[in-house]
């Protein structure tokens, strides 16, 4: 029931007596492409289907053995509001396997995985597929509220006269379309704007941000060239080529990057197109199982999963410190945001005044941090990023021979997610 | 570690809640007790009245009596406490911070320090541009120091102050290097005049950043070049608007108007105090701008829009400008009835500058500033401002426990209003009524109040929803076992009040305070039914509660000090200006109002029509005429109060016949709420017509006016003397603790003419002896309702006796 006590290092493990060990068996993703490129004519569920099929192909897992599917998405395509179900059916999963969609901004697939871990840990399921998809090449643009109201009334109008009088009320302003909210509903602030303020609050300079973004791209390029990004599964776009590589990795030079004007706060802001993650299309999926079932079915699980919210909590619960962590994978929405987070973790003032802690958490060492690139370079299809992070950290632990990995991500609405990942014995 | 992303999570310089906590400068005096807030209140008169919540002139200001100091270098360095500077990359960063006060004001010391620094900066050839910034949290410069003006004995002395200010700012304006004003927090009066003398302005969008020229509210004018620079910067119409209303302008609005060039957002928490970091950040941005200005990569001139160009062209024609002056003057005269000299002086100074050139403009500005400072109107308004500040303090100490949850009984106009101002500050509030209909109406009132704010964009719809979530409407007493305070706003009937008091006391915890919102019933009579009279207190709100600033708190001899402290703390949290008075029929405010209304009825009976009566009272400076006031208060309420207090105080409250009101009620003329009272109200017509039905009633009750005391002026003084005499009696009897609270209560609760500063300030300036003389004449004609009280007689006998120092 419990995992073997013998491990490569003498550290304790995360396993708890009486609780099933939950493992990551495999994780895959479609290549992440800049919005408006090769995926442009697809729909969200196409990419999701690609990731799900890729997962099945990679694992040769029997479809009927999947007990549940949880999938994340942020910008909803109204035609496929439960995109999890549409993609699962399309990918040939059993119609007896229930599927639901979750949304929690940039940590949607983190939440999907957390749900999966919970289902497995509680014994309700043995094998759950979690994942996320984001499709930014096409977003639902609506008629204005006035127009919608008129059209709905038109539906109910019984007589020609009533219809004509409704049509007569049509004004030019009715025709102004409504774009999906770029800014948060509760604060009316755009993410990039918020990131710029955050960077300013922590005194993160433009130079720091550009350097960090460059690091992300350089490391991603290296990982790509060395063939480390093995979580990618090929995706065939109908009528086009087979896509097998991310297309947003572009190491630039500091000089070129310094030429860009601020994208949000003008003219004195520090967040630019180059030090922000870009609009991305992509999907990811992971197979999460109980360890015993995985082993019984002959799989070699990659990592143990133990999610909760936010880093200090997750560490304290598991009795670990930052020094115990071998690989860090943090979501990079904006260079300024990552650096601000790292600065906050290093700050006693922040710990005392904003977290109710006695002392700082401490920041992760850069030599263990996002070594294969991050969202800035690989791309950030909002709801697909969480699974990418977890799979990547599992792969890194394997490659680097580490035991513990830590995944952290932030999301709109002031939410955050952290997950501890422990390498399974080889 | 979800640091990024959310303004709420990292709320900077005041999150969503603190926005609502800001007390807006409101045109209080305009709205009289129980009056509907229907009249547009842009008038300079009304603005001048009240609401000097934040002013150009700060009472905190510390007046340095040292005069000019030695200018020897070492002494200067040592003595320079208010202003310092450093040079960063060829930019002189000049930092202001008055160590002796919570806010920066333009004191002598600050000005001397500034001049010294400026001279050093100008003498340093390495300095190519400069930034002026305050390191004081939440305050750039709050304005000139009020004490500096108050100690002046003559107009010439004040003019001199004005000229010194003009000179310093002119030097900055004509400086060989560009100046950037970096504004965070209050930037008012002289502070704003300083900022607009600089060549470029950067401001933070912090909630505390507010720009205004509120001198007019103190009966003064912007005397350091404001009347000269504003028209150039904003154009005549906007400049007049800003200076004649004294209204507060937030940073984003200032950007739109062209008052500032650049705005920056407030920051959330980082690795230090957000405000501290914001000021650093502001400095970084301002230094960047200053460098750009020096290198000419940043330009000061902004592109003018088409509308602006057209306006400029039109206003280039002298004839058009003359028309503008004429129109503005007419408007001011209409709104102020000529009772406030400041707005006219402002127009004069602007006109002099625009038409005759800067030399004449600056001269007129300085001279007029001096003249205005010596006017009784200015003294009255400054007195009100300082009184208002004094009435925004809790003099009863910190209550033992903070009121965190509150229940309001009765979801009527008052109850819902009280609930609104309470949830507005994030206090969990139960609104209890006896019917679902009543509850729904009350809930709608709160929603509408908040939604109106959202429509005006002073809060977001999200903040509206969040605020509304503090409100819980219900029909029973569930949850009352946890509330810290109950405010009842049920029908004004002693037996009903007793009934709810007993019901409430059966369910509330022992520490819970019971407050009664009554306008006239003595609190001790209500408390008679209580098991714990030390926890019973009166909290008299004024309608509409969300607009009227005054709260009259009534203590009985049994009310404990902690109960009073708690009630005051709640009132302050609700944003109220508070007077604490002794118990008795009508307390203070209603007691002053009742004889005035009764006299008003008498005057109507004597054949002065409602319209004439209104114009006589507004002509005296009351924002609302007596006839309109009766309609707004409600004829039934007025009758009720007049009768009750008449019983309590006897013939002193006589004069008019209460049966006039009773007959009106019988005919359904209950005032505005019923559509008819002294006037006929209709939703569409703006111009109200006199109700012929009421005229007939008045004819039936007609009395002959003794001609010797019925002239227009006598009519005015009959009303005012009864008001003032009753106020003096309240002080004499100890209902009022001091004249300051008496003045504040009268102006902010009842609309006593703000230009007179309140009944006691009026007695000081008009002369108690003169008023007593008049009253004796009226006494001879009418009887003892005009008998001056002992206190008045005492003050009349000795003219050196003053209520205010």
User: Residues of B with catalytic annotation?
Assistant: 552
The angle formed by the CA atoms of residues B342, B347 and B348, to the nearest 5 degrees, is: 95
The angle formed by the CA atoms of residues B182, B186 and B188, to the nearest 5 degrees, is: 95
Cβ contact, residue pair A268, B8, below 8 Å? no
> B165: burial class by Cβ within 10 Å (0-12, 13-18, 19+)?
buried
- State how far the Cα of B678 lies from the Cα of B695, in Å rounded to an integer: 8
A344 shares contact with chain B (CB less than 8 Å): yes
- One-character DSSP codes across B746-798: HHHHH---GGGTSHHHHHHHH-HHHHHHHHHHHHHHH-GGGPPPHHHHHHHH-
In what helix (H) or strand (E) does residue B551 lie, and over which residues does it extend? strand B550-555
- One-character DSSP codes across A265-286: STTT----STTB--BEEEEEEE
Tell me the sheet residues that pair with A380: A279
CA dihedral B137, B143, B146, B149 (to 10 degrees): 150
- State how far the Cα of B287 lies from the Cα of B295, in Å rounded to an integer: 12
Q: What is the residue-averaged pLDDT of chain B?
A: 89
Cβ contact, residue pair A194, B7, below 8 Å? yes
Which phi and psi (to 5°) does residue B273 adopt?
-55, 130
Query: If you measure CA to CA, which chain B residue comes closest to A416?
Result: B2
A404 shares contact with chain B (CB less than 8 Å): no
Cβ contact, residue pair B4, A337, below 8 Å? yes
- pLDDT tens sequence across B684-731: 767 788 999 999 999 999 999 998 899 999 999 999 999 999 999 999
Q: What percent of chain B has pLDDT over 90?
A: 80
- Of residues B262, B277, B462, nearest to A201 (C-beta): B277
- One-character DSSP codes across B147-188: HHHHT--SHHHHHHHHHHHHHHHHHHHT-SS-EEEEE-SEEE
Name the CATH superfamily, with its identifier, for domain B405-584: NAD(P)-binding Rossmann-like Domain (3.40.50.720)
| pTM, rounded to two decimals | 0.85
More confident residue, A14 or B27: A14
Cβ contact, residue pair A414, B270, below 8 Å? no
Which phi and psi (to 5°) does residue B144 adopt?
-70, 165
C-alpha atoms less than 13 angstroms from C-alpha of A369 in its C-beta half-sphere: 17
Check: CB of residue A51 under 8 Å from CB of residue A233.
Answer: yes
Check: CB of residue B476 under 8 Å from CB of residue B506.
Answer: no
pLDDT at A11 (0 to 100): 52
Tell me the sheet residues that pair with B472: B430
| Average confidence (pLDDT) over A327-336 | 95
Tell me how close the Cα of B117 comes to any Cα of chain A, in angstroms: 28
Give the three-class secondary structure for A420: strand
Return the number of other C-beta atoms located less than 10 Å from residue A221's C-beta.
15
Residue with tokens 């709801």: A383
Predicted confidence band at B528 (pLDDT cuts at 50, 70, 90)? very high
Check: CB of residue B742 under 8 Å from CB of residue B756.
Answer: no
Residue of B427, B776, B414, B386 lying closest to B569 (CA atoms)? B427
Predicted confidence band at B79 (pLDDT cuts at 50, 70, 90)? low
Residue A8 has pLDDT above 50, yes or no: no
- State how far the Cα of B607 lies from the Cα of B597, in Å rounded to an integer: 16
Tell me how close the Cα of B299 comes to any Cα of chain A, in angstroms: 13
Q: What percent of chain B has pLDDT over 70?
A: 90
A271 shares contact with chain B (CB less than 8 Å): no
Residue A2 has pLDDT above 60, yes or no: no
Residue A28 has pLDDT above 90, yes or no: yes
- State how far the Cα of A285 lies from the Cα of B47, in Å rounded to an integer: 64
Q: What percent of chain A has pLDDT over 70?
A: 95
B280 contacts in A (CB within 8 Å)?
A: 203
Tell me how close the Cα of A212 comes to any Cα of chain B, in angstroms: 16
Cβ contact, residue pair A415, B2, below 8 Å? yes
- State how far the Cα of B148 lies from the Cα of B108, in Å rounded to an integer: 8
Which phi and psi (to 5°) does residue A69 adopt?
-130, 130
Check: CB of residue B639 under 8 Å from CB of residue B662.
Answer: yes
- State how far the Cα of B71 lies from the Cα of B27, in Å rounded to an integer: 46
Cβ contact, residue pair A340, B274, below 8 Å? no
| Average confidence (pLDDT) over B307-326 | 89
Check: CB of residue B91 under 8 Å from CB of residue B132.
Answer: no
Query: If you measure CA to CA, which chain B residue comes closest to A192?
Result: B5
A417 contacts in B (CB within 8 Å)?
A: 2
Query: If you measure CA to CA, which chain A residue comes closest to B279?
Result: A201
- State how far the Cα of B11 lies from the Cα of B19, in Å rounded to an integer: 11
| First CA to last CA distance, chain B | 59
* Cis peptide, bond prior to residue A115, ω within 30 of zero: no
Check: CB of residue B779 under 8 Å from CB of residue B710.
Answer: no
Predicted confidence band at B16 (pLDDT cuts at 50, 70, 90)? very low
Query: If you measure CA to CA, which chain A residue comes closest to B266?
Result: A197
pLDDT at B37 (0 to 100): 32
A13 shares contact with chain B (CB less than 8 Å): no
A198 contacts in B (CB within 8 Å)?
A: 3-5, 10, 268
Check: CB of residue A340 under 8 Å from CB of residue A199.
Answer: yes
pLDDT at B75 (0 to 100): 41
A337 contacts in B (CB within 8 Å)?
A: 3-5
| Per-residue buried b or exposed e for B560-573, using 16+ beta carbons within 10 Å of the residue's own CB | bebbbbbbbbbbbb
Cβ contact, residue pair B7, A268, below 8 Å? no
- Of residues B4, B5, B288, nearest to A268 (C-beta): B288
Q: What is the residue-averaged pLDDT of chain A?
A: 91
pLDDT at A155 (0 to 100): 87
Tell me how close the Cα of B274 comes to any Cα of chain A, in angstroms: 7
- State how far the Cα of B69 lies from the Cα of A157, in Å rounded to an integer: 84
Residue A296 has pLDDT above 70, yes or no: yes
Query: If you measure CA to CA, which chain B residue comes closest to A413?
Result: B6
Residue of B235, B212, B230, B205 lying closest to B304 (CA atoms)? B235
Which one is the CATH code of B83-374: 3.90.10.10, 3.55.40.20, 3.90.730.10, 3.90.226.10? 3.90.226.10
The angle formed by the CA atoms of residues B345, B346 and B350, to the nearest 5 degrees, is: 120
Return the number of other C-beta atoms located less than 10 Å from residue A127's C-beta.
24
In what helix (H) or strand (E) does residue A140 lie, and over which residues does it extend? none
| Average confidence (pLDDT) over B546-557 | 96
Query: If you measure CA to CA, which chain B residue comes closest to A351?
Result: B271
Which phi and psi (to 5°) does residue B440 adopt?
-65, -40
Report, at the CATH architecture level, how domain B589-659+699-797 is classified: Orthogonal Bundle (1.10)
CA dihedral B488, B492, B496, B500 (to 10 degrees): 0
How long is chain A?
426
Alpha helices in B38-144 (DSSP H): 44-49, 73-79, 108-123
- State how far the Cα of A370 lies from the Cα of A372, in Å rounded to an integer: 6
- pLDDT tens sequence across B157-204: 999 999 999 999 999 999 999 999 999 999 999 999 999 999 999 999
- Of residues B4, B288, B462, nearest to A186 (C-beta): B462
A277 contacts in B (CB within 8 Å)?
A: none
Q: Pick the range with the lowest mean pLDDT from B79-88, B498-507, B620-629.
A: B79-88
- State how far the Cα of B543 lies from the Cα of B38, in Å rounded to an integer: 12
- State how far the Cα of A285 lies from the Cα of A58, in Å rounded to an integer: 11
| Average confidence (pLDDT) over B74-85 | 70
Residue A367 has pLDDT above 50, yes or no: yes
Residue of B778, B785, B744 lying closest to B761 (CA atoms)? B744
Predicted confidence band at B73 (pLDDT cuts at 50, 70, 90)? very low
- State how far the Cα of B532 lies from the Cα of A38, in Å rounded to an integer: 78
In chain B, which residues fall in CATH 1.10.1040.50? 589-659+699-797
Helix axes A160-168, A145-156, angle to 10 degrees: 170
Cβ contact, residue pair A343, B270, below 8 Å? yes
Residue B66 has pLDDT above 50, yes or no: no
pLDDT at B232 (0 to 100): 92
| Average confidence (pLDDT) over A195-213 | 96
- State how far the Cα of B518 lies from the Cα of B530, in Å rounded to an integer: 16
- pLDDT tens sequence across B207-240: 999 999 999 999 999 999 999 999 999 999 999 9
Cβ contact, residue pair B460, A268, below 8 Å? no
Cβ contact, residue pair B1, A418, below 8 Å? yes
Residue with tokens 């009596």: B65
Residue B12 has pLDDT above 80, yes or no: no
- pLDDT tens sequence across B473-492: 999 999 999 999 999 999 98
Check: CB of residue B530 under 8 Å from CB of residue B515.
Answer: no
Alpha helices in A202-334 (DSSP H): 206-225, 254-259, 291-296, 311-318
What are the structure tokens assigned to B177, written together? 């290097």
Return the number of other C-beta atoms located less than 10 Å from residue A399's C-beta.
14
pLDDT at A20 (0 to 100): 87
pLDDT at B740 (0 to 100): 97
| Average confidence (pLDDT) over B355-360 | 96
Residue A92's alpha-carbon distances to A50, A72, A95, B445, in angstroms, are 11, 19, 8, 56
Check: CB of residue B365 under 8 Å from CB of residue B348.
Answer: no
- State how far the Cα of B290 lies from the Cα of B90, in Å rounded to an integer: 9
- State how far the Cα of B386 lies from the Cα of B214, in Å rounded to an integer: 14
Alpha helices in B296-357 (DSSP H): 306-315, 318-336, 341-356
């Amino acid at each position: 029931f419990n995992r073997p006590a013998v491990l490569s290092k003498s550290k304790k493990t995360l396993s708890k007596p009486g609780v099933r060990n939950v493992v990551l068996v495999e994780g895959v993703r479609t290549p992440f492409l800049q919005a408006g490129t090769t995926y442009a004519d697809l729909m969200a569920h196409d990419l999701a289907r690609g990731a799900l099929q890729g997962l099945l192909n990679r694992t040769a897992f029997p479809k009927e053995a999947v007990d549940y599917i949880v999938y994340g998405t942020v910008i909803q395509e109204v035609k496929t509001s439960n995109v999890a179900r549409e993609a699962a059916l399309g990918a040939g999963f059993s119609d007896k396997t229930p599927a639901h969609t979750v949304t929690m901004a940039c940590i949607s697939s983190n939440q999907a995985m957390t749900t999966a871990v919970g289902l497995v840990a509680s014994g309700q399921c043995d094998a759950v597929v979690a994942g996320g998809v984001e499709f930014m090449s096409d977003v639902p643009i609506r008629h204005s509220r006035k127009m919608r109201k008129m059209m709905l009334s038109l539906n109910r109008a019984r007589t020609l006269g009533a219809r004509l009088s409704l049509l007569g009320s049509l004004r030019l302003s009715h025709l102004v379309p409504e774009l999906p909210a770029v800014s948060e509903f509760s604060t009316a602030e755009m993410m990039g704007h918020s990131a710029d303020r955050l960077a300013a609050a922590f005194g993160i300079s433009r130079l720091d941000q550009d350097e960090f973004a460059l690091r992300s791209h350089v490391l991603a390029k290296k990982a790509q060239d060395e063939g480390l990004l093995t979580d990618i599964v090929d995706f065939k776009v109908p009528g086009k080529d087979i896509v097998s590589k991310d297309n947003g990795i572009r190491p630039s030079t500091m000089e070129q990057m310094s030429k860009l004007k601020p994208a949000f706060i003008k003219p004195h802001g520090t967040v630019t197109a180059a030090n922000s993650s870009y609009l991305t299309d992509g999907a990811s999926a992971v197979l999460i199982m109980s360890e015993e079932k995985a082993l019984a079915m002959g799989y070699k699980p990659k990592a143990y999963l133990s999610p909760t919210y936010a880093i200090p909590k997750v560490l304290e619960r598991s009795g670990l410190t930052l020094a115990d962590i071998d690989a860090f994978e943090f979501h990079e929405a904006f260079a300024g945001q990552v650096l601000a987070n790292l600065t906050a973790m290093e700050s006693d003032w922040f710990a005392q005044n904003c977290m109710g802690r006695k002392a700082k958490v401490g920041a992760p060492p850069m030599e263990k941090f996002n070594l294969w690139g991050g969202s800035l370079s690989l791309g950030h299809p909002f709801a697909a990023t969480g699974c990418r992070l977890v799979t990547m950290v599992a792969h890194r632990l394997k490659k680097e021979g580490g035991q513990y990995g830590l995944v952290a991500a932030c999301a709109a609405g002031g939410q955050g997610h952290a997950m501890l990942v422990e390498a399974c014995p080889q | 570690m979800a640091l990024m992303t959310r303004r709420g999570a990292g709320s900077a310089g005041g999150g969503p809640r603190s926005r609502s906590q800001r007390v807006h400068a409101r045109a209080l005096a305009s709205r009289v007790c129980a009056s509907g807030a229907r009249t547009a209140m842009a008038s300079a008169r009304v603005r001048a009245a009240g609401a000097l919540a934040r002013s150009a002139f700060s009472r905190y200001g510390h007046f340095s009596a040292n005069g000019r100091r030695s200018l020897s270098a070492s002494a200067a360095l040592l003595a320079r406490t208010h202003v310092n500077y450093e040079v960063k990359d060829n930019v002189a960063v000049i930092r202001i911070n008055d160590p002796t006060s919570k806010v920066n004001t333009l004191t002598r010391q600050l000005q001397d320090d500034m001049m010294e620094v400026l001279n050093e900066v100008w003498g340093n050839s390495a300095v190519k541009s400069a930034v002026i910034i305050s390191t004081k949290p939440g305050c750039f410069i709050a304005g000139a120091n009020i004490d500096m003006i108050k100690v002046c004995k003559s107009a010439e002395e004040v003019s001199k102050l004005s000229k010194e200010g003009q000179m310093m700012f002119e030097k900055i304006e004509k400086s060989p290097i560009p100046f950037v004003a970096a504004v965070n927090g209050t930037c008012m009066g002289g502070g704003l005049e300083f900022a607009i003398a600089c060549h470029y302005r950067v401001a933070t969008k912090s909630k505390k950043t507010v720009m205004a020229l509120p001198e007019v509210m103190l009966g003064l004018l912007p005397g350091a070049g404001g009347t000269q620079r504003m028209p150039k910067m904003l154009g005549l119409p906007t400049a007049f608007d800003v200076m004649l209303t004294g209204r507060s302008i937030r940073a984003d609005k200032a950007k739109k108007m062209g008052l500032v060039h650049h705005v920056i957002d407030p920051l959330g928490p980082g690795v230090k105090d957000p405000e501290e970091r914001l000021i650093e950040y502001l400095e970084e941005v301002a230094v960047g701008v200053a460098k750009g200005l020096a290198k000419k990569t940043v330009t000061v001139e902004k592109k003018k829009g088409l509308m602006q160009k057209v306006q400029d062209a039109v206003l280039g024609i002298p004839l058009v400008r003359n028309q503008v002056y004429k129109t503005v003057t007419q408007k001011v005269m209409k709104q102020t009835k000529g009772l406030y000299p400041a707005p006219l002086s402002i127009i004069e100074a602007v006109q002099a500058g625009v038409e005759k050139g800067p030399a004449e403009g600056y001269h007129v500005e300085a001279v007029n500033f001096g003249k205005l400072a010596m006017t009784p109107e200015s003294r009255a308004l400054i007195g009100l401002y300082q009184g208002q500040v004094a009435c925004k303090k809790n003099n009863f100490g910190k209550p033992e426990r903070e009121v965190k949850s509150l229940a309001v009984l009765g979801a009527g106009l008052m109850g819902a209003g009280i609930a609104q101002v309470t949830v507005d500050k994030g206090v969990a509030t139960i609104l209890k009524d006896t019917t679902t209909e009543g509850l729904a109406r009350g809930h709608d009132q709160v929603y509408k109040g908040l939604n109106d704010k959202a429509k005006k964009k002073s809060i977001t719809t999200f903040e509206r929803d969040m605020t509304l979530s503090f409100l819980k409407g219900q029909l029973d007493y569930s949850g009352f076992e946890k509330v810290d305070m109950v405010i009842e706003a049920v029908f004004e009937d002693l037996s009903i009040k007793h009934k709810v008091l007993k019901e409430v006391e059966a369910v509330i915890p022992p520490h819970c305070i019971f407050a009664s919102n009554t306008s006239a019933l003595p609190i001790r009579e209500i408390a008679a039914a209580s098991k714990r009279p030390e926890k019973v207190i009166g909290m008299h709100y004024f309608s509409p509660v969300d607009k009227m600033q005054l709260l009259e708190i009534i203590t009985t001899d049994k009310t404990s000090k902690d109960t009073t402290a708690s009630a005051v703390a709640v009132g302050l949290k609700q944003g109220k200006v508070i007077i604490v008075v002794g118990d008795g029929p009508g307390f203070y405010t209603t007691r002053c109002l009742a004889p005035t209304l009764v006299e008003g009825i008498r005057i109507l009976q004597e054949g002065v029509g409602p319209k004439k009566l209104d114009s006589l009272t507004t002509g005296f400076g009351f924002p609302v005429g007596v006839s309109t006031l009766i309609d707004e208060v409600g004829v039934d309420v007025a009758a009720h109060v007049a009768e009750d207090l008449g019983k309590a105080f006897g013939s002193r409250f006589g004069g008019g016949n209460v049966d006039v009101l009773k007959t009106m009620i019988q005919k359904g003329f209950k005032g505005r709420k019923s559509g008819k009272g002294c006037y006929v109200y209709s939703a569409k017509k703006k111009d109200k017509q006199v109700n012929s039905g009421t005229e007939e009633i008045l004819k039936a009750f007609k009395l002959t006016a003794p001609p010797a005391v019925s002239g227009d002026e006598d009519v005015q003084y009959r009303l005012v003397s009864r008001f003032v005499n009753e106020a003096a009696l309240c002080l004499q009897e100890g209902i009022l603790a001091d004249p300051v609270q008496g003045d504040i209560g009268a102006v902010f609760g009842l609309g006593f003419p703000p230009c007179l500063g309140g009944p006691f300030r009026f007695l000081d300036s008009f002369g108690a002896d003169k008023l007593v003389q008049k009253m004796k004449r009226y006494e001879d004609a009418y009887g003892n309702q005009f008998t001056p009280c002992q206190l008045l007689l005492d003050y009349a006998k000795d003219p050196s006796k003053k209520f205010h120092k």
